[in-house]
Structure 1
Amino acid sequence: MRKNVIITCAITGAGDTTKKSPYVPITPEEIANSAIEAAKAGAAIAHIHVRDPQTGQISHDLDLFQEVVERVREADPDVVLNITAGGGGDWIPSEQNPIVGGPGTDMQTPQERHEPVGLLLPEICTLDCGSMNFGDQLYISPTEWLREQARLIQQSGVKPELECFDTGHLRFAKQLIDEGLIDGDPLFQFCLGIPWGADADVETILYMKDKLPENAHWSAFGIGRMQLPIAIQSILLGGNIRVGLEDNLYLDKGVLATNAQLVDKVVSTLNILGVDPMTPQEAREHLGLKNPNGNAETHG
Structure 2
Amino acid sequence: MSRLMITVAPTGGMAQKSQNPNLPTQPEEIAESVFLSYKEGASIAALHARRPDDQATCNAEIYSNINRRIREKCDIVINNSTGGGSSGDMLIERPDGLFESSFEERLKGCDAGAEMATFDGMTFCDVHGGREIVVITPPNRCEQLVKRMIERGIKPEWEVFAPNHILQDVTRLIQKGYDKPPYYINMVLGADRGFQGAMPYSHDILAAMIAALPPQSIFCVSAIGSAQLPATTQAMLLGGHVRVGLEDNNYYAKGELATNEQLVARTRRIATELGFEIASPGEARELLGLKTN
TM-score norm. by structure 1 comes to 0.88
1:65 to 51, 63, 66: 63
Count of residue correspondences: 281
**Residue 200 (structure 1) aligns with:** 201
Give the residue type in structure 2 aligned to 1:151. K
The yes-or-no answer on 1:237 pairing with 2:238 is: yes
Residues of 1 paired with 2:209 and 2:65: CA distance? 36
**Residue 11 (structure 2) aligns with:** 12
Q: How does 1:24-35 map to 2 (within 5 A)?
A: 24-35=23-34
Residues of 1 paired with 2:175 and 2:201: CA distance? 28
1:108 to 103, 110, 129: 103
Q: Please report the RMSD computed on the Cα atoms of aligned residues, expressed in angstroms.
A: 1.9
**Residue 181 (structure 1) aligns with:** 178
Deviations 1:138-181 (A, max 9, x none): 22222210111111111211110000012221112001111122
**Residue 256 (structure 2) aligns with:** 255
Q: How does 1:82-161 map to 2 (within 5 A)?
A: 82-87=79-84, 97-98=95-96, 101-102=98-99, 105-109=100-104, 112-118=105-111, 120-135=112-127, 136-161=132-157
Residues of 1 paired with 2:153 and 2:40: CA distance? 29
Structure 1 residue 93: Cα displacement = 6.8
What secondary structure is seen at the aligned counterpart in 2 of 1:4?
Answer: coil
Give the residue type in structure 1 aligned to 2:146. A
**Residue 296 (structure 1) aligns with:** none
Deviations 1:69-124 (A, max 9, x none): 1111111x321101111227867875xx31x655xx44132xx4233423x32111
In structure 2, stretches of 5+ residues that fail to align are none
Give the residue type in structure 2 aligned to 1:182. D
Structure 1 residue 125: Cα displacement = 0.7
What secondary structure is seen at the aligned counterpart in 2 of 1:285?
Answer: helix
The change in CA–CA distance for 1:88 and 1:80 in structure 2 (over 3 A counts) is same
Contact 1:222 1:231 in 2 (8 A): yes
Q: For structure 1, which segment, 6-15 or 124-133, has the greater mean C-alpha deviation from structure 2 after superposition?
A: 124-133
**Identity across the alignment (%):** 33
The yes-or-no answer on 1:162 pairing with 2:158 is: yes
**Residue 298 (structure 1) aligns with:** none
Residues of 1 paired with 2:289 and 2:18: CA distance? 38
Structure 1 residue 3: Cα displacement = 4.3
What secondary structure is seen at the aligned counterpart in 2 of 1:69?
Answer: helix
**Residue 53 (structure 1) aligns with:** 52
Contact 1:91 1:140 in 2 (8 A): no
Name segments (4+ residues, structure 1) moved above 4 Å: 88-94
Residues of 2 paired with 1:166 and 1:8: CA distance? 20
Q: For structure 1, which segment, 240-249 or 129-138, has the greater mean C-alpha deviation from structure 2 after superposition?
A: 129-138
Give the residue type in structure 1 aligned to 2:163. T
TM-score norm. by structure 2 comes to 0.90
Residues of 2 paired with 1:139 and 1:9: CA distance? 24
